Amino acid sequence: MKKISLAVASIMFAGVSAFAASDAVLLEKATNSGLKAIPQSQLEVLKLVDDPKNPITDAKVELGKKLYFDPRLSKSGIISCNTCHNLAMGGVDGVGAAVGHKWTPNPAHLNSPTVYNSVLNKAQFWDGRSPHLADQAQGPMQAAPEMAAPASLVVQRVTSMPGYVEEFKKTYGDDVKVTFALIADTIAIFEKTLITPSRYDAFLNGKLNALTDAEKEGLNIFIDKGCASCHNDIGLGGTMMPFDASKYDLNVGGFTGTKDGMVKTPTLRNVEETAPYFHNGNVWSLNQAVKLMGDIQLGMKISDADATKISTFLKSLTGEKPEIKYPQLPVISDKTPKPDMK
């Protein structure tokens, strides 16, 4: 009996060792393909996203959160950053085209990208025109199809509320001048905290059992098919890549990227929560999106079976969200400009 037990144990141990070796090979393959994990250490994450010229503090994060949720930063007084980048819905709005001022869909039928992990992007906006979040945050507030508020109106609204004035002083000092740029910078500081580590990151950080066998198989196919050539680094996207938006009727709205045909690669983090997909929100199925990318970007047919396996891996990218408590916003004053629906 002892001999039989030892033999069985030997076989089981060999099997476990084989799986561990296979997992280690996959981990090395992922690393060599340019895939990187969100660091386990909060200090390392801070080093990754912080700006020494305007460092992250708890006070700035709290103030930025209030501004992010405040619809009074829009001309109408009813659209906030959270309207299109809803933190309860994967950081998106769940519609094909973003809806802005006067309930008007984006004229180029552009889809709202997720705000979660957006700090990891190398470029912001679908055409990559902004290099970082602080610059990006200025755009939607002023854009006519979005919040439609001139910079001067945003500043006037914020500085007319004593609660905001006091909070800016406590956060930045008594001599602070509340400018439009500072308001946008403060929103960006809050957005920098919206990072969502997942089981995928745990796997890349060396916890080899963090992914299921099916997810590991999907990751392997994801790499072998070439998906990681664009969706790589920590952000699994966020860089500018050539993309022919006119193929397969995806060019709803007329957007074709930059003059050179470059489009920002969307992050795949939390992708199961961010449908519809592509720059124009024209695809609702994750499996279909995977197959279309094979056709459009990789020049290959991805089978239904492989698309399902890749999607299984992609769902492991759904991360742990920071806990967000809805803020109580400052009270308006007699000087606060009234909402304007025109």
- The binding site for heme c consists of 81, 84-85, 101, 227, 230-231, 293
The single residue of 28, 62, 146, 323 carrying the catalytic annotation is 146
Rounded CA-CA distance 162/164 in Å is 5
Report whether 74 contacts 147 (CB < 8 A). yes
Rounded CA-CA distance 35/335 in Å is 51
CB-CB neighbours of 316 under 10 Å? 22
Catalytic annotation present for 146 = yes
Residue list, annotated binding site: 81, 84-85, 101, 227, 230-231, 293
Quick one: residue 70, left, alpha or beta (phi over 0 = left, psi -120 to 50 = alpha)? beta
Rounded CA-CA distance 294/61 in Å is 40
Identity (one letter) of the amino acid at 128?
G
CB-CB neighbours of 88 under 10 Å? 9
Rounded CA-CA distance 149/143 in Å is 7
Helix axes 180-191, 162-172, angle to 10 degrees: 70
* Structure tokens belonging to residue 202: 């745990």
Active-site residue set: 146
